[in-house]
Amino acid sequence: MKKLIGVGLLLLLLLVGCSSDTDETTDKESNISDEPAQEEKDVAEKPKSEYPFPSDTTEIGEGKLSIQTPSGDSADGTVPVLFVSDDVIMDSVGYTIENFDGDKEVFLYVNEIFVDANQGGYMSQSSLELEDWLLDPGEYEVVAAQFEGNDPNNKVVSLSKAKYKVEQGS
């Protein structure tokens, strides 16, 4: 008799455990079906800029900025294109800064958001790492600026702009 009660309790425990799993699965499935479908690629939010963007973006000084992508260079005024497929999480574009003051940093902004700083000078080449919102299709403006006292809160002493475009790749 004790064995029969033990087997009965064991079966009861198994049935209760199985039935609660089934209910949870059903609840989860119904919640999933009630949620709106997500887009294939979410548009990433633009972060807050670490340094203030210059209030006056008139090009000034001898410094020049150009952007390089596999499709070309912005030095001649064209807008080079970077093709990015959906599975890419990070890419880059090259840039060249020329004739900026060597005793100050050049602050680089993309669409008014600070992304990098590099020492000025006769010529310097580097790359901008692109991820998150910077990989979304569209046209981007890069601004290279130097400030009095090397402080982005001060007056702009040199500023140059260039553009590049991100397009959906295959």
What type of residue is 36? P
> What does the angle CA 161 – CA 122 – CA 112 come to, to the nearest 5 degrees?
25
Q: Which residue do the tokens 């910077």 mark?
A: 134
What type of residue is 108? L
Task: State pTM to two decimals.
Answer: 0.69
List domains and CATH numbers for the chain. Answer: 64-168 (2.60.40)
CB within 8 Å of 164: residues ≥ 6 apart: 67, 69, 74, 79, 80, 81, 82, 93, 139, 140, 142
pLDDT tens for residues 48-74? Answer: 766 778 887 889 899 999 999 998 898
- CA distances to 38, 54, 119, 154, 157 from 112, in Å: 29, 8, 20, 16, 17
pLDDT tens for residues 1-50? Answer: 445 454 444 444 444 455 444 444 444 444 444 444 444 444 556 677 66
